[in-house]
Amino acid sequence: MSTNNELKKRIFITGGASGFGFALAEFYAQQGWRVAVGDIQEQAGQQAQQALAQLTSDARYFPCDVTKEADLQRVADTLSEAWGGVDVVVNNAGVAQVGAIETVSLDDWEWIININLLGVVRGCKVFTPIFKQQKQGHFVNIASMAGLLDVPNMSAYNSTKSAVVSLSETLQHELAPSNIGITVVCPSFFRTNLGSSMRSTVPNMDKTLDKLMSKSDLTATDIAKQVAAAVSQRQFYVLPHATGRRIWRLKRWLPRGLYAKLMQQQFAKVKGSK
C-alpha cells in the first residue's frame, strides 16, 4: 500500500511511451507516484497514459520532442502549475547510430547529438530552476555502457553517451549545493525498442542488435528497479550488467594497449557471430 508521502511524489520521463522509459514509468506508477511521460509518438503516448492510469491516480502524457527546448519548457510549466513541481526528471529519450567513421554522414552525427546529448542538456537546463526553487530534485540521465567502453563502429553513439556521462559528473558537483541529485545509468544491451529508430551503415545490424539484446539476463523492469533504488539512495552510477561492470574495471585498471587488444578481440567475435 502506498503511503501519503509516496502519493505526493512526482516524476517526468522523456521517451516514456515505450521501451525502458515506459518500464520506469510503470514501476513508479505501481508505487503510487504521479507519473508524466513525454514522447514524440502521440498514439503510443496516449496508450501509455491509459495504462499508467490503471496504476496511479495521476498519469499524464505530453507530446514532447527533446530537440525542442520549448516542448520541455511547456511540460515544466504545466507540471509546476498542476503538481507544484516535480521530484525526479528522467532524461531517457535516445536513438542509436552504428557505422564506421568514414561511412557515417555528418547529418547522422548531428541527428544523434541533437537527441542523445542536447536532449539531456535541454532537460537539465529547463528543470534545474524548478529544482532550485523547491530546494530539491533529482535528475536521472540515461547513458549507456557505450559511454564508458569504446566499442568499434559506434563512434557517434559512443560519443553522445560518453558526453552524457561527463555532463552528469559535472552536474553532480555543480548542483549538489542546491540539494539536486544526479544518477547516470549505463546499461549494456537489453531488450528494448532502441533498434526501431537505429540508423546504420553496417549490413544486417538490426539482426546483430536483436541477437545481443536477446542474450541479456536483465529486463527493462529489472533495470527500472535498480534505477529507482539508486534514486532513493542518491547513488550516482548505475551499471546494471555484471559483464559491463567487469569490462569497465578492466578499462580503468589495464594499460591502454592491453585493454585495446581485449576490445579488438571481442569485436572480432561479434563480427564473426553475424
| Distance from C-alpha of 14 to C-alpha of 36, rounded to nearest angstrom | 9
| Distance from C-alpha of 90 to C-alpha of 185, rounded to nearest angstrom | 10
Nearest to 243 by CA among 209, 211, 273, 266: 266
| Distance from C-alpha of 164 to C-alpha of 178, rounded to nearest angstrom | 21
Task: Reply yes or no on whether 28 is catalytic.
Answer: no
The interaxial angle of helices 19-30 and 220-232, nearest 10 deg, is 60
Q: What is the DSSP letter of 38?
A: E
Q: What is the DSSP letter of 115?
A: I
**What phi, psi does 184 have (nearest 5°)?**
-115, 130
| Distance from C-alpha of 223 to C-alpha of 175, rounded to nearest angstrom | 25
- The residue annotated as part of the active site, out of 28, 61, 157, 237, is 157
Which residues are marked as active site?
A: 157
